[in-house]
Amino acid sequence: MLTVTSADQLSVLQQKVTMTDTEPFYSALIIHNDSSRDTAADFEVIKELTKDQYDIYSDAYHEIDVLLNRNIFTYMKKTMGDLIKAIKADMEEMTSGKLNHSQPDDIVRMGIRMRSAALAFCSALHYHQEHTYTELEKLYGENSDTEKEVRKILNRLNEKSSHYRLMYHLRNTMVHHSMEAVSIHGTAQLDKDGNTIAVSTPKIDVKAMTDLDKKMKEKYREQLTALPDQTPDLLQYAVEAFKAANEANDKLLLKMYPNMKQSCATILEFDELFEKRDGVRATTTERSTNEPPPLKFSYNAWASNVVQYARRMANRH
């Protein structure tokens, strides 16, 4: 019997096996990744836990899991990856000959793919701010000290990163005016060995942004108009914008969720029970009592990125 706690937990965080008789059993469990091991050795109890210890470890894991895997920034990271994949797809298709520059349908398909990926990233960047403000109000109410501190972080992000600022405004142009604020550029040529080398360099049309967006602040319009390069590289701007947003996100999470450090320390304490052994970390709540062995467990497997994040946090302090 397989139990999934929510629709988006496709990795199956909790699995139950059919058991004739069970008893409560709290433990740290390792799930071995070695496919050569027999079924009886797939699961190994590392340490028995009390119910209180189980609750402490589970609560810490849940807090960081939600922030890492269901936070809006997680989806921004996904759109960044999708933009890179779209550019790689262009180059692969040009290299293989699947994309023909003389065929209008191929160019249209290339443009739709690229602009869709660009809009998804810019929208995620934009929504990250909106979602953060909504969460702030839910957690702390309006005009709280925490809200003011987080607003400072986001305002500083907008002021200091010209790449972030441009991508934020690019979303406005694409949504309200024209998707053609992103233009596609690609070349393919033969190297000295006769192999096809392809390059895809989508561009941002800054002039389209300043001409079309009538609500843009005049000071910022002047800054954009003064840019020496009016068609900057989309990927370069997206990567730099993401780096700046990532740094700001780390800061604002610590402000919004002050228990994060303690939760990461608790996760690290749990991880140390495994003494650096390879395998999936898990906690158990039940085990079978029927014969013959092997024992079967009701367990909650931990996503590896949660443990890795706790390790990184520990190295920062």
pLDDT tens sequence for the chain (317 residues): 333 344 344 334 344 444 468 899 999 999 987 666 555 458 899 999 999 999 999 999 999 999 999 888 999 999 999 999 999 999 999 898 888 777 889 899 999 999 999 999 999 999 999 999 999 999 999 999 999 999 999 999 999 999 999 999 999 999 999 999 999 998 888 888 888 888 999 999 999 999 999 999 999 999 999 999 999 999 999 999 999 999 999 999 999 999 999 999 999 999 999 999 999 999 999 998 877 666 788 999 999 999 999 999 887 75
User: Which among 48, 47, 46, 121 is positioned nearest to 82, based on CA atoms?
Assistant: 121
Asked whether residue 133 falls in the same domain as residue 199, the answer is yes
67, 257 Cβ separation under 8 angstroms: yes
- Identify whether 281 is part of a domain: no
186, 201 Cβ separation under 8 angstroms: yes
- Identify whether 173 is part of a domain: yes
Question: Which residue has 């909790």 as its token pair?
Answer: 14
Asked whether residue 172 falls in the same domain as residue 232, the answer is yes
User: Which among 300, 90, 308, 59 is positioned nearest to 188, based on CA atoms?
Assistant: 90
* Structural domain range at position 193: 72-260
Asked whether residue 125 falls in the same domain as residue 248, the answer is yes
CA 172/CA 216 separation, integer angstroms: 9
Asked whether residue 21 falls in the same domain as residue 119, the answer is no
Question: Which residue has 């005009």 as its token pair?
Answer: 143
- Identify whether 148 is part of a domain: yes
Asked whether residue 61 falls in the same domain as residue 81, the answer is no
CA 82/CA 89 separation, integer angstroms: 10
Asked whether residue 239 falls in the same domain as residue 109, the answer is yes
Asked whether residue 207 falls in the same domain as residue 301, the answer is no
Asked whether residue 46 falls in the same domain as residue 105, the answer is no
Asked whether residue 174 falls in the same domain as residue 97, the answer is yes
**What domain count does the chain have?**
2
**Number of other residues whose CB lies within 10 A of the CB of residue 83:** 24
